[in-house]
Amino acid sequence: MKRVKAFRLSVMILLMMLSNCTSYNPIADHRGNKGKEVAYRYNDDLQTCKAIAKENTNTFIEVAKAGYNWVIRPQLLWLPDKMEYDYKPMVMTCLSNRGHSIIK
């Protein structure tokens, strides 16, 4: 009985982590852009950058990093270094290279 509950809990956590990667929406400062046309292209650039980041990241590795950061590191008293994610920085860099001012 305890195994079934633990399995269900781990599946729920895994699904939450998987859905977390694709729901990232960066905060952009449209007044800090280099031109008026850049703000009009934001939604198209955002979708393009998300698609590029999704193609170039491995979901399994991203979930493993999240599991390490949220489960294993606290058990080791946060002594090991945090594993950095690839998806969010990739989207931020892509948008910055297209001329958007990204805050977070």
- For 40-71, the pLDDT digits (tens) are 888 899 999 999 999 998 888 888 888 888 88
Whole-model pTM over 0.75? no
The number of distinct structural domains making up the chain is 1
Domain that holds residue 56: 2-102
Which of 54, 42, 39, 43 minimizes the C-alpha distance to 91?
A: 54
Residues whose CB falls within 8 Å of the CB of residue 98, separated by 6 or more in sequence, listed in order: 38, 41, 45, 49
Q: Output the average pLDDT for the chain.
A: 81
| pLDDT score of 52 | 93
> Cβ distance 101 to 29 under 8 Å?
yes
How far does Cα 79 stand from its chain's mean position?
23
Tokens of 51: 């698609």
